[in-house]
Amino acid sequence: MDGFVCVRVVQMHGADLELFQFQRQLTWAAVFLNADGTIYGRYGSRSERRGMKDNDKDISLEGFKKALEGALELHKGFPANKAALAGKRGPAPLAKTVEKLPAAPPEEAKPARAGDHGCIHCHQVQDWEALSVWKSGKPVPDKLLWPYPMPDALGLTLDIRERATVSSVAEGSPAARAGFQAGDRIVALDGQPVISIADVQWVLHQAPEPFTLKCEVDRGGRKVSVELALSEGWRRKGNFASSLSLGWTLRMQLAGMKCDALSPDEKKRLGLGEDALAFRIGEITPEYVKRRNNSARKLGLKKGDVITEVDGRTSSMTETELLAYLAQQKKPGEKLSLTYLRGGESRQVELDLP
């Protein structure tokens, strides 16, 4: 750490969203910067919401130390390597600061003052970005719903104790078809030097679809080039409903309820086919949630009701797919047609979207 000037940012009030672009659904993150704003890399990964006992599953002190070492190596090569680092700065954000996001609640986004205990959390930035797009009447893009995908979605598991080293490759996966092997250390992706799993996520996050990602790996001291094919919609394999807050925000503010997909056995007991749509309502948005869709409560929907049809759709879907449908195919003020079972009786309602 002696080679760094360490700056700790504990909340997002006034933070430059153009400079500080990273996976928001995290407990903490590190951005390695040159004094002129050039980014050497990032550290901090989280594949899904985790409890206190396992929230370090995707990070380690060993991996952080090696990312620090990698950043110092890149610093020694600066400015000769500046062109290769340009891609580590992302496109212009929706707003320069979080306070200027249209969906940022005024009471929470007000400027911080000395002595205030209020805090804008990192995860709230992503939540408000997604809501800002939706409230404008536009579909929320995949990049906001499934941001910074873990390489596991492509069959590539990386060792959290190393920079970006492959520990295993899933058989039949895009990574396997590309020719990745256990032990490969990813040196560069799309021309960008890589020093952490978070750096891999950054490149995957920014990549268009479909796309062929050019990769440079170190395989036992030998440089090997690999091409990784990204198909249209590949990142949709992720489960944002279980993320730190995005899933919670969308279910509370758009759906107004939490829905749990039924297992095949549960469907069978209800006389439903294995591929039938079936959600059990696990919770109606509590009244203490200030910004909520109260329509489900007003319609009389209850915990335990089983939804079997959504806007005429009867095929199986996950809660993530349901929330994505609301965020990408429905607009503010529209209605959502629902058919549900209660006590063996089928009922129909129309849910109002906010």
Which pLDDT tens digit goes with each residue over 302-330? 999 999 999 999 999 999 999 999 999 99
Q: How far apart are CA 162 and CA 194, in angstroms?
A: 11
Looking at residue 75, its amino acid is: H
- Does the domain at 1-242 match CATH 3.20.20.100? Answer given as no
Instruction: Cite the beta strand spans of 129-179 per DSSP E.
Output: 156-159, 165-169
Cβ count near 44 (within 10 Å): 22
Instruction: Cite the beta strand spans of 190-265 per DSSP E.
Output: 192-193, 211-219, 222-230, 257-261
Q: Which residues neighbour 285 within 8 Å (Cβ) at sequence distance 6 or greater?
A: 251, 252, 256, 257, 292, 293, 294, 296, 297
Instruction: Give the phi and the psi of residue 70 in degrees, each rounded to 5.
Output: -65, -40
* Token duo for residue 178: 């590309």
User: Would you say residue 272 has pLDDT above 60?
Assistant: yes
Q: Where are the domains of the chain?
A: 1-242, 245-352
Q: How far apart are CA 240 and CA 242, in angstroms?
A: 5
* Partners of 156 in the β-ladder: 169
pLDDT at residue number 28: 87
Residue 47 gets the label, from left (phi > 0), alpha (psi -120 to 50) or beta, of alpha
Could you check whether 1-242 and 245-352 share the same CATH topology? yes
Helices (H) and strands (E) in the chain, counts: 11, 13
pLDDT at residue number 242: 86
- Fold for 245-352, please state it: Pdz3 Domain (2.30.42)
pLDDT more than 90, % of the chain: 83
Nearest of 160, 326, 309, 305 to residue 246 by alpha carbon: 326
* Partners of 158 in the β-ladder: 166
DSSP for residue 123:
H
Alpha helix (H) ranges present in 180-245? 197-206
* Partners of 261 in the β-ladder: 279
- Prediction pTM value: 0.92
Average pLDDT over residues 215-238: 96
User: Would you say residue 52 has pLDDT above 60?
Assistant: no
Q: How far apart are the first and last CA of the chain?
A: 48
Residue pair 166/157 in contact (Cβ under 8 Å)? The answer is: yes
Residue pair 30/20 in contact (Cβ under 8 Å)? The answer is: no
Q: How far apart are CA 71 and CA 185, in angstroms?
A: 16
- 172-189 pLDDT per residue, tens: 999 999 999 999 999 999
- pLDDT, mean over the chain: 93
* Token duo for residue 61: 């002190």
Only one residue has tokens 């930035």, namely: 125
